[in-house]
Amino acid sequence: MKIYKITAEEIAEKVRELALAANMYLPEDVKSSLAAARAAEKMLQARAVYEEIIKNAELAAEKYMPICQDCGMAVIFAEFGQDLFVEGGGASDALNEGVRRAYADGYLRKSVVSDPLFARKNSGDNTPAVIHWRVVPGHSLKITVAPKGMGSENMSRIFMLKPADGVEGVVNAAVETVRAAGSNPCPPVVIGVGIGGNFETAPLAAKEALLVPCGKRNPVGFYAEMEERILNEANRLGIGPAGIGGSVTALDAHIVARPTHIAGMPVAVNLCCHALRHASGRIEGRPCNE
């Protein structure tokens, strides 16, 4: 079989490019959802907030400045084609090097402290990134960089539900998370729901759910219906943009479901602020010489 090559430098440069793009440019699907929310909003103050959010995204792109001063921890999903060979350094080191370059070159805020409890000293370059590797068939490396601020991360929750809690249990967990969060996660939020797996699976599935484009429904009918229900119930809370009252509290809700144990049903609810930032790209491997 054939082996394909990419270099650590290519990986670092790709991550740099994606981290900069994610921080400066709001994805089109999020922009469309915000425009639709503004059009649907009946409250005067809430409409003013939408105007600001939409104008801010335009200005950020125009001035090439980060959408939010909280440029987050850099979450990276990396799908590594198993026929690849990385030359010139460690692949994870290269991902972190890309983050380091982007946060320096883009004047992005560095928000990572190396020890969580005692020193809490800023690492100075926003590393380490939060990295999720996955090995897949093929010979390319797909990278998604999703900077995530802490305001909405702090309002996210995990529930170890019983299988008998059923659909109601999951919907209630999601809506209760949005209700309890109030204005803190910078609504309008996007609701990522991860169901199943183990204690550690559900939150990762919830994070992946946030990467599903706004407006896209789960391909499985039952889950698609639940997404609609969670969205509708969250939007009846009246929290509104910035939490000051309004008819749109959530732009969308997405569910990612995973196989789980006969005795359990973990549910994680990961909220994201209206600055739902992510960018993806791919590096193709080149065939190595025989």
Q: Which residues bind other proteins (CB under 8 A)?
A: 42-46, 48-49, 52-53, 55-56, 59-60, 63, 65-71, 107-109, 151, 182-184, 186, 235-247, 273-275
Most distant CA atoms of the chain, gap in Å = 68
Report the C-alpha gap between 65 and 180 in whole angstroms. Answer: 32
Cα 266 to Cα 42, 163, 193, 208, 220: the distances in Å are 37, 9, 10, 15, 19
- For other proteins, give the closer residue by CB, 104 or 130: 104
* CB of residue 281 to other proteins, shortest distance in Å: 24
| Cβ at position 62, least distance to other proteins in Å | 9
Beta-carbon contacts of residue 17 (< 8 Å; ≥ 6 apart): 102, 281
* Nearest-approach distance from CB 257 to other proteins, in angstroms: 29
Nearest distance from C-beta of residue 245 to other proteins, angstroms: 3
CB of 228 to other proteins, least distance (A): 16
Q: How far apart are CA 275 and CA 193, in angstroms?
A: 18
Nearer to other proteins, 192 or 243 (CB): 243
Nearest CB to other proteins, comparing residues 163 and 182 = 182
Residues in the chain: 290
Encoded amino acid at 168, one letter = E
Q: ∠235-241-246 over CA atoms, to 5°? A: 55
> Smaller CB distance to other proteins: residue 227 or 233?
233
Q: With respect to other proteins, which residue has the nearer C-beta, 30 or 143?
A: 30
Order of strands across the sheet that contains 84-87:
84-87, 4-7, 286-287
CB of 163 to other proteins, least distance (A): 33
Q: Which is nearer to other proteins, 63 or 134 (CB)?
A: 63
C-alpha 230/C-alpha 220 separation (Å) is 16
* Residues 131, 97 contacting (CB under 8 angstroms): no
| Amino acid making up residue 86 | V
